[in-house]
Amino acid sequence: MSAVEVAERAALTGESFVAGRRRRGTAGEVRGVDAATGERLEPAFGLATRQDAADAAAAAAEAAPVLRAAPPATRAALLRGIADGLDAASGQLVDRARLETGLPQARLVGEVGRTSGQLRLFAGLVESGLSEGLRIDPALPDRAPAPRPELRQRRLPLGPVVVFGASNFPFAFSNAGGDTASALAAGCPVIVKSHQAHPGVAELVSAIVVEVVERLGLPAGTYQALLGSGREVGTALVEDPRVRAVGFTGSRSGGLALVRAARERPVPIPVYAEMSSVNPVVVLPSAATAERGRAFVDSLLLGAGQFCTNPGLVLVPSGEAGEPFVAAAAEALAARDGQVMLTEGIRDAYVAGRDALAGRGSRIAEGGGAERAPAPSLVEAAAADLVAEPALADEVFGATGLVLRWGDERELRAALAALEGQLTATVHVDLDDAPDDERSLAADLVIALEELAGRIVVNGWPTGVEVGHAVVHGGPFPATSDGRSTSVGSLAIERFQRPVAYQDVPEALLPAALRDDAIAALPRLVDGAVVLP
Amino acid sequence: MSAVEVAERAALTGESFVAGRRRRGTAGEVRGVDAATGERLEPAFGLATRQDAADAAAAAAEAAPVLRAAPPATRAALLRGIADGLDAASGQLVDRARLETGLPQARLVGEVGRTSGQLRLFAGLVESGLSEGLRIDPALPDRAPAPRPELRQRRLPLGPVVVFGASNFPFAFSNAGGDTASALAAGCPVIVKSHQAHPGVAELVSAIVVEVVERLGLPAGTYQALLGSGREVGTALVEDPRVRAVGFTGSRSGGLALVRAARERPVPIPVYAEMSSVNPVVVLPSAATAERGRAFVDSLLLGAGQFCTNPGLVLVPSGEAGEPFVAAAAEALAARDGQVMLTEGIRDAYVAGRDALAGRGSRIAEGGGAERAPAPSLVEAAAADLVAEPALADEVFGATGLVLRWGDERELRAALAALEGQLTATVHVDLDDAPDDERSLAADLVIALEELAGRIVVNGWPTGVEVGHAVVHGGPFPATSDGRSTSVGSLAIERFQRPVAYQDVPEALLPAALRDDAIAALPRLVDGAVVLP
């Protein structure tokens, strides 16, 4: 299907969504780009203005108290409605996303399913009542010297949330992705600053969400999406006093700029920015096999390396012990060709970062390259080099890996200590083959890595993040701006909530969700003990 | 007992506690002051240096991994040991606190009990396993198209926490107060920057905690306390890269300075600062009785008004409807004398703030005053004045109240909308007497106040915060720097934790607390459903 045909079929208008209506931005135009060819796609999209941002903030503020009062069942219906809409439109969504991102069809089909699956997972948790965070301390009228009042606590939505879509996941981390799903699950209105790398997908997804919002009779400000400049529209949204929190997935410079803008407001707000990670992998001697070397390259090159959880750095024993792993990895990588990258800007940054890294070590393998699909690359250096120059571990977004060779445990630990906070950290060990001291080191490393990362993997690869209740996709700064949270999985709902306590509020004045009969149907903590309905 | 006798009995040495040992600060000296007389008390206390701060940070960093690995039972034993120590020394502690703070004996006795009670409450929650935050998503090896890995999630301590003691609660918000208790419960080492308003109490309490730490064989850096300048030692602690979070209770300027210091670090850290609140009280016509007017004054003057939850602002119907409340409040306040305030600095700030406020409205009552016990005061203005000049609602720390008279619901709502974030917000209504529209307004107000405050009270007074599981002592900025949290009650433990997930980690490499047998004994979320042991 040609680009024009896709656009026609999708009936793309090039508009943003403000207060339930399509509105064409007048701050310039932008087009989607066929990642594989560089061809500029139909239609032209209008870029939103600061006024559009202000109007969206006003509509979101109007929606906030309505959503806050909406029962869990309503929020769940919204999430499920969006999930159904995405699945129903999957074919059309994937077609447009293939053009705009250059990502393979199978990956995109899977990503739509992951996105709708996450929405349904959150719906289930909301329906269970667990996301209400109920805590009850009953009154003790006879307590001496003073009676104890009754306290009922619940978690309430923070209010309007601005979500910045990511280029590398047009579905899972964009308009109806993780941050949007968790904010809506919490009861927060969402304004998405759509990513310009996939404007068509952003419009298609937004149209689905807006339709569901309208069908359920929810306020028009429940979900809005603006295509616009990050510097103009993005900053205006973050600075708007009606906005109460920000979710972001992208570059470190972009994330830190939002953090700065948010904290310089008269009333600062939280920014959850997922920024950068090289996802270190420690290979212990027993595991330095050719098979794992090839598996490392598979993980490294997946999606052209355009994953936040791409294993960009692997620590391999020096000398003979590490040779099978490194030789096989180099051989496997050399046999692979580059893949189309998401945007020209990302490609240019990749090529520059890849070549700069090669200058800091020795390039031990290079794959095949083309103009729009630059070659993957593997560079080797000594673990001690990282201690001398921690910038060696700066993320290169794309299919470049750094192999650091370590001589002994001391060198390995020094290299790990030189790393900044990470999303993931991985250990490879063959427990059947490893001698006792290596098994013991592996156990120690698991403990040590707790300080470094939000997710610890053993004998697997970090790329690919399960959507579930127990996952953490977060980590210490600068992997994220706030390591107390996760951007994937149901725990993410809590990042958009705050606790409120109600003291001695008579039944007649309590919000419906906190009255006796409503509470009895929900899981809760009563005097510190879990009570299930 | 004379001041000298108290000091002798307590064997005060004037030292700080670094790495398990007493150490005399060499950056100058400070003395406790008898709040009632201004007499300078024995002994002289040495002020800690920046080097002391660095040494404490080093010891805390050394303690951190040991505490992180300590089982819940060990953390609970620490909390209970401190609680027992406080109760055993209560007499001595209260004697010294009376001198240093001028607070009445009964209040201080109660405060020690509240402090030990909070430690025991946290111990119970830690023992229950709820504070571990376990979530398990079991592996699905047969899932298509790809198997699901196993994920185990738990909450880990952030690492060393710096706690700034508060002047107005020498026990409950100071060395072994809420922030220390919640940080230790989370498994974080604590360094307290002791408050100079009660250096003797700080030393006595710290000696108790240090003794318990030593007796349990915990690392010397588990608890440390430095008496020193906030600008020097406090800032040095917040800036130290080994410190991972900050708890603070005090002035807005002090809290905001720490927030700035923390966010300008290369690796920013969270600051939980509880700063200021006037705790607005809305009186509806049915409740504008003389009895409630007198009760308001009792709450306003409690502890010389030196509570974060002091009701400094009351919104009363204008005209005849509000007269019984206002007249009775004025009469009650005029009959009361001032009380000794905590420090000369607080007294001076109170007098200045009280008189400035009087200049902005009409003073309708003044109590008796003395040099060290300045007069309480009640000032009246129109609710509309607040909308024109929001600074009317700035906190005056002490026994001064502002009565704002509102004419209709629109005026009332406009005044509430002009307020900044608060710790508490209260509604008074007589549900038996109120007409339907007033009952309905009361219910609406409860909902509206959710956006304003962390705790909503009906027909009670905000002063006094229950220690429990359902309480929230927190609120939107600037009541606190982070409205997603509480500084009182067991939810506070979570502010010093972060989630970490373990993916496919074999039993042999898992931390002991995450192995199958350990998990079976704990409450947990399995695939999103609560499972109790």
| Domains of chain B and CATH, by start | 3-275+486-494 (3.40.605.10), 281-458 (3.40.309.10)
The mean per-residue pLDDT over the stretch B168-191 comes to: 98
Chain B nearest CA to A131, separation (Å): 11
Rg (CA), chain A: 25
Q: What is the spatial distance between Cα A290 and Cα A271, in angstroms, rounded to a whole number? A: 42
Cis amide linkage into residue A478, ω under 30° from 0: yes
Q: What is the spatial distance between Cα B16 and Cα B45, in angstroms, rounded to a whole number? A: 8
Q: Taking chain A, what is the end-to-end CA distance rounded to the nearest angstrom? A: 53
Q: Which residues contact B472 (CB under 8 A, 6 or more apart)?
A: A153, A499, A500, A501, B454, B455, B486, B488, B489, B491
Measured between beta carbons, which residues in chain B are less than 8 angstroms from residue A498? 454, 474, 476, 483-484
Helix (H/G/I), strand (E/B), else coil: B193: strand
Mark yes or no for CB contact A151/B468 under 8 Å.
yes
B4-26 burial, b at 16+ Cβ within 10 Å, e below that, comes to eebbeebebebbbbbbbeebbbe
Tokens coding A88: 């129903």
Tokens coding A493: 């709902």
Tokens coding A516: 């006796």
Mark yes or no for CB contact A459/B506 under 8 Å.
yes
Chain B residue closest in CA terms to A123: B528
The mean per-residue pLDDT over the stretch B42-49 comes to: 97
B82 touches B213 (CB < 8 A): no
Measured between beta carbons, which residues in chain A are less than 8 angstroms from residue B148? 466, 468
Chain B nearest CA to A433, separation (Å): 14
CB atoms near residue B113 (< 10 Å): 17
Q: What is the spatial distance between Cα A265 and Cα A253, in angstroms, rounded to a whole number? A: 19
Mark yes or no for CB contact B466/A149 under 8 Å.
yes
Residue B282: burial class (beta carbons within 10 Å; 0-12, 13-18, 19+): buried
pLDDT for residue A1: 47
The mean per-residue pLDDT over the stretch A14-39 comes to: 97
Mark yes or no for CB contact A502/B268 under 8 Å.
no
Measured between beta carbons, which residues in chain B are less than 8 angstroms from residue A524? none
Mark yes or no for CB contact A460/B501 under 8 Å.
no
Q: What is the spatial distance between Cα B122 and Cα B182, in angstroms, rounded to a whole number? A: 7
The reply to whether B420 belongs to the active site is no
Chain B residue closest in CA terms to A498: B484
pLDDT above 50: residue A267: yes
Q: What is the spatial distance between Cα A198 and Cα A225, in angstroms, rounded to a whole number? A: 13
Interface list for A 157-186 with B (CB within 8 A): 158-159
Cα-based distances in Å from B184 to A17, A50, A249, A412? 48, 47, 33, 31
pLDDT above 90: residue A86: yes
The reply to whether B308 belongs to the active site is yes
Write down the residue that tokens 């588990």 correspond to: B222
Chain A nearest CA to B312, separation (Å): 19
Predicted confidence band at A11 (pLDDT cuts at 50, 70, 90)? confident
- The answer to whether A196 faces chain B, any CB pair under 8 Å, is no
Tokens coding A152: 């009922």
Q: Write the pLDDT tens digit of every residue in B93-110.
A: 999 999 999 999 999 999
Chain B residue closest in CA terms to A124: B528
Mark yes or no for CB contact A469/B135 under 8 Å.
yes
Cα-based distances in Å from B324 to A167, A377, B283, B378, B404? 64, 82, 12, 15, 15
Q: Taking Cα atoms as reference points, which of B304, B192, B471, B330 lies closest to residue A500? A: B471
pLDDT for residue B2: 53
Helices A105-128 and A72-88 cross at an angle (nearest 10°) of 170
Residue of A65, A148, A466 with shortest CB distance to B149: A466
Predicted confidence band at B9 (pLDDT cuts at 50, 70, 90)? low
Element spanning B208, H or E = helix B199-215
Chain A nearest CA to B302, separation (Å): 15
Helices (H), B70-136: 72-88, 90-101, 105-128
Q: Write the pLDDT tens digit of every residue in B396-450.
A: 999 999 999 999 999 999 999 999 999 999 999 999 999 999 999 999 999 999 9
pLDDT for residue B126: 97
Q: What is the spatial distance between Cα A524 and Cα B194, in angstroms, rounded to a whole number? A: 37
Q: What is the spatial distance between Cα B440 and Cα B372, in angstroms, rounded to a whole number? A: 46
Chain A nearest CA to B442, separation (Å): 7
Give the residue from B505, B522, B531 with the most A CB atoms within 10 Å of its CB, the best one to mutate. B505
Residue A181 one-letter amino acid: A
Q: Which residues contact B11 (CB under 8 A, 6 or more apart)?
A: none
Predicted confidence band at A10 (pLDDT cuts at 50, 70, 90)? low
DSSP label at B341?
-
Measured between beta carbons, which residues in chain B are less than 8 angstroms from residue A477? 267-268
Chain A nearest CA to B370, separation (Å): 31
Write down the residue that tokens 């009332």 correspond to: B412
> What ipTM was assigned to the predicted interfaces of this complex?
0.97
Residue of A263, A457, A511 with shortest CB distance to B504: A457
Q: Taking Cα atoms as reference points, which of B74, B14, B81, B84 lies closest to residue B42? A: B14
Predicted confidence band at B386 (pLDDT cuts at 50, 70, 90)? very high
Mark yes or no for CB contact A431/B509 under 8 Å.
yes
Residue A53 one-letter amino acid: A
Mark yes or no for CB contact B153/A511 under 8 Å.
no
pLDDT for residue A456: 98
pLDDT for residue B11: 84
Q: What is the spatial distance between Cα A367 and Cα B496, in angstroms, rounded to a whole number? A: 46
Tokens coding B96: 């010294």
Q: Write the pLDDT tens digit of every residue in A116-142.
A: 999 999 999 999 999 999 999 999 999
pLDDT above 70: residue A283: yes
Mark yes or no for CB contact A65/B471 under 8 Å.
no
- The answer to whether B330 faces chain A, any CB pair under 8 Å, is no
CB-hemisphere CA count at 13 Å for A184? Answer: 38
DSSP label at A303?
G
Q: Taking chain B, what is the end-to-end CA distance rounded to the nearest angstrom? A: 53
Q: Taking Cα atoms as reference points, which of A336, A331, A392, A326 lies closest to residue A359? A: A392
Rg (CA), chain B: 25
Q: What is the spatial distance between Cα A416 and Cα A159, in angstroms, rounded to a whole number? A: 39
Question: Taking the alpha carbons of A526, A528, A529, A533 in that order, is the dihedral positive or negative?
Answer: positive
Interface list for B 445-474 with A (CB within 8 A): 446-447, 450-451, 453-460, 464, 466, 468-472, 474
pLDDT for residue A145: 86
The DSSP-derived string for A390-425 is GGGGS---SSEEEEEEE-SHHHHHHHHHT---EEEE
Helix (H/G/I), strand (E/B), else coil: B466: coil
Average pLDDT, chain B: 96
Measured between beta carbons, which residues in chain B are less than 8 angstroms from residue A419? none
Tokens coding B195: 């408050």
Mark yes or no for CB contact B148/A529 under 8 Å.
no
Tokens coding A452: 């470094």
CB-hemisphere CA count at 13 Å for A264? Answer: 10
Mark yes or no for CB contact B528/A130 under 8 Å.
yes
Mark yes or no for CB contact A491/B499 under 8 Å.
yes
pLDDT for residue A5: 54
Question: Taking the alpha carbons of B370, B372, B373, B379 in that order, is the dihedral positive or negative?
Answer: positive
Chain A residue closest in CA terms to B69: A447
Query: Of these residues, A203, A308, A366, A411, which one is catalytic?
Result: A308
B286 touches B434 (CB < 8 A): yes
How many residue pairs from chains A and B have C-beta atoms closer than 8 A? Answer: 242
Residue of B469, B481, B509 with shortest CB distance to A446: B509
Pairing label, strands B497-503, A313-317: unpaired
Chain B residue closest in CA terms to A151: B470
Q: Write the pLDDT tens digit of every residue in A238-263.
A: 999 999 999 999 999 999 999 999 99
pLDDT above 50: residue A351: yes
Predicted confidence band at B464 (pLDDT cuts at 50, 70, 90)? confident
Q: Write the pLDDT tens digit of every residue in B297-321.
A: 999 999 999 999 999 999 999 999 9
Q: Which residues contact B323 (CB under 8 A, 6 or more apart)?
A: B288
pLDDT for residue B108: 97
Q: Write the pLDDT tens digit of every residue in B118-149.
A: 999 999 999 999 999 999 999 999 998 899 99
B356 touches B400 (CB < 8 A): no
Measured between beta carbons, which residues in chain B are less than 8 angstroms from residue A497? 484
Residue of A458, A486, A511 with shortest CB distance to B505: A458
pLDDT for residue B1: 47
